[in-house]
Amino acid sequence: MSSPPPGAALATTTPPSLPGPPSPVVLILPPSIPDNGTRTAAATPPPPPSNSTTLVALGMGIGIGGAIVLVCVGIFVIWYKRRKKRLRLGGFAYAPSQGSKDDPFHAPQYPWQHPASPPSGNIIGEPPNPTLPLGISSQSQSSSVDGSTKKTTFTFEELLLATKNFAHTNLLGQGGFGYVHKGVLCDGKHVAIKQLKVGSGQGEREFQPEVETISRVHHKHLVSLVGHCISGIQRLLVYEYVPNNTLEFHLHEKENTSINWATRMKIALGSAKGLAYLHEDCKPKIIHRDIKSSNILLDENFEAKVADFGLARLYSDNDTHVSTRVMGTFGYLAPEYALTGKLTDKLDVFSYGVVLLELITGRRPIDKSQHYLDDNIIDWARPLLTQALENGDFDTLVDPRLQTEYDSVEMTRMVACASLCVRHFARRRPRMSQVYMFC
């Protein structure tokens, strides 16, 4: 059988009983629409948008708008937290004029606008504005507690000779720890020798911390440790001699005369500078724990020197929850320390505020002559501090021995400083470097 030639059509025979297939229908597309094999009705219009499509579009719009709002809120929160952190690190804000619920003192805000004095003489820094100034380094001769300076070790016989066998005529003072005698070393140097009571548990506990703490620091407004003595059961500390007694003596015990206002300012600034050095220049910081007028010694020029480091503690910034056995002097203890033993540098700030109240008012921290609630200087002074800062009248607050012999601008600064230092909550008190700047 021969094959058909190429291109020839094959004949199809359909049985007569069956109908033939329908003729093929050819769809001719318009020239402008290419035939890509898709059969689409060219004249069919798109369906109108349904309700579900509208809702989806509306939801997308709301979602995008909400996202933008959330981003804006997030940016604001980040900015606000950073700003708050800067304020917390850089300064201490005053309370609003109506006070706050967590501050029982309700110290008002006072917009002092008088110009700041240059750092010279007895007035240093600027007046208290709504935010206190940045902390400063209180002394160029900053010292690290780790970089200690070696002190002299004395024999007991040397100190016996220096004090003439601890003669009563050389007795400078005494307390629960023991006695302090004046002495003259073999080189002619005058010293104060602190002899701890034999068998005194507190004396033993205080001796080592005091040697370790004060022997490693040096500052114009801190009493210098010359050396120490350990001989059998005897424990003695040898200090530089500060000849002009204590602030307590000049405020409360010296009869007929009183230190003038300029001298009180000088003492306040000097002791603040010494404490700022302990808190902020020493690494780790040192918390004194027993700031009071009897522990502020005065030299012949009434320069203040903070003394008695028997209760001092080294404190690292990493120690966020340090509690200790409560020790100190009643009338000077911060409330959080007295109640819980929680130890921070704000304990010293509170005690310093009490000293400022003594300088302003001439009153003792605890007035034993008063048998009522106002025997405590803080309870007595708080309403008067607020009143004086509001109306500028200090007559009911100021030591009567000063009469009107004081500078009203300086008094305003010191009163404001005292009111901040004795705030009930530790976190609301300023740092000592801030106190030094605007006091």
Q: Which of 290, 345, 348, 399 is an active site residue?
A: 290
Ramachandran sector of residue 121 (left: φ over 0; alpha: ψ -120 to 50; beta: rest): left
Beta-carbon count within 10 A of 136 CB = 18
244 DSSP 8-state letter: T
Pairing of strands 285-287, 190-196: unpaired
Q: How many Cα atoms occupy the beta-carbon half-sphere of 282 within 13 Å?
A: 29
Distance CA 373, CA 375 (A): 6
User: Residue 107: which region, alpha, beta or left (left: phi > 0; alpha: psi -120 to 50)?
Assistant: beta
Residue 194, annotated as binding a ligand: yes
Instruction: Name the amino acid, one letter, at 225.
Output: L
Say how many CA atoms lie within 13 Å of 291 toward its Cβ: 32
290 catalytically annotated: yes
- The span from the CA of 232 to the CA of 236, in Å, is 11
Distance between CA atoms of residues 183 and 161, nearest Å: 8
Strands (DSSP E) contained in 308-361 are 313-315
> Which residues are CB-neighbours of 413 under 8 A, at least 6 positions away?
127, 128, 438, 439
- Angstrom distance (rounded) from CA 282 to CA 280: 6
Q: Which two tokens stand for residue 235?
A: 């424990």
Residue 9 to residue 90: CA distance in whole angstroms: 101
Helix axes 261-276, 346-361, angle to 10 degrees: 170
Say what the alpha-carbon torsion angle 144, 145, 149, 154 is, to the nearest 10 degrees.
Answer: 160
Q: Give the C-alpha separation, 387 to 324, whole Å.
A: 37
Q: Determine the 3-state secondary structure of 37 from DSSP.
A: coil
**Residues of each annotated binding site:** 194
List active site positions. 290
**Residues of each annotated binding site for ATP:** 194
